[in-house]
């Protein structure tokens, strides 16, 4: 017979209600962000370019899908909820697949302030990622036009 009584160690942790061991302190989060900034700058340009290109395509796909879904519903409230539920899928793709989005790379500035990254290297990284994000999104738009996907004027200009 298996006994399902918890050990004393587990019971003592349960009494704390919140497991503080599983959360990072703000100073630890700053350290992790700085380390990630250094890693982002040290990536090869080709890798930065490819990951930035993919991030631009993911965000464009999410924006397009969310906008098309919103335009397919006539009531404003459910349409906004639907768009708000679909757009984060693009952000999830960026995070889960490790793509380089410009907004995330702006945190490299923390590594600059900590003097672990040179300012010029940060701007090179931001330039590559911004350009790749833009071209990835532009490529998605070109694909939409080439395959005659439904594009309304308001979805094209994000109105």
55 domain residue, yes or no: yes
List Cβ neighbours of 139 (8 Å cut-off, separation of 6 or more). 53, 56, 57
For residue 72, the model assigns a pLDDT of 82
For residue 51, the enclosing domain spans 29-156
Taking only the tens place, the pLDDT of each residue in 15-50 is 555 555 568 888 999 999 999 999 999 999 999 999
What's the CATH number where 60 sits? Answer: 1.20.1080.10
Domain count, the chain: 1
104 domain residue, yes or no: yes
12 domain residue, yes or no: no
pTM of this structure: 0.77
One-character DSSP codes across 30-89: HHHHHHHHHHHHHS-HHHHHHHHHHHHHHHHHHHHHHHHHHHT-SSHHHHHHHHHHHTHH
3 domain residue, yes or no: no
138 domain residue, yes or no: yes
For residue 114, the model assigns a pLDDT of 94
Q: pLDDT class for 8, splitting at 50, 70, 90?
A: low
Evaluate whether 68 touches 62 at the Cβ level (below 8 Å).
Answer: no
pLDDT beyond 70 at 97: yes
118 domain residue, yes or no: yes
56 domain residue, yes or no: yes
């Amino acid at each position: 017979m298996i006994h399902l009584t918890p050990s004393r160690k587990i019971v003592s942790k349960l009494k704390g209600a919140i497991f503080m061991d599983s959360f990072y302190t703000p100073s630890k989060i700053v350290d992790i962000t700085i380390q990630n900034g250094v890693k982002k700058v040290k990536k090869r340009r080709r890798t930065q370019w490819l990951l930035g290109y993919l991030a631009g395509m993911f965000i464009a796909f999410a924006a397009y899908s969310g906008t098309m879904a919103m335009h397919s519903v006539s009531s404003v409230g459910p349409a906004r909820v639907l768009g708000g539920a679909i757009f984060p899928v693009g952000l999830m793709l960026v995070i889960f697949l490790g793509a380089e989005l410009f907004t995330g790379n702006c945190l490299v500035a923390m590594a600059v302030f900590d003097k672990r990254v040179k300012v010029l290297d940060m701007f090179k990284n931001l330039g590559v990622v911004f350009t790749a994000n833009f071209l990835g999104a532009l490529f998605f738009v070109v694909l939409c036009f080439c395959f005659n996907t439904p594009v309304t004027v308001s979805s094209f200009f994000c109105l």
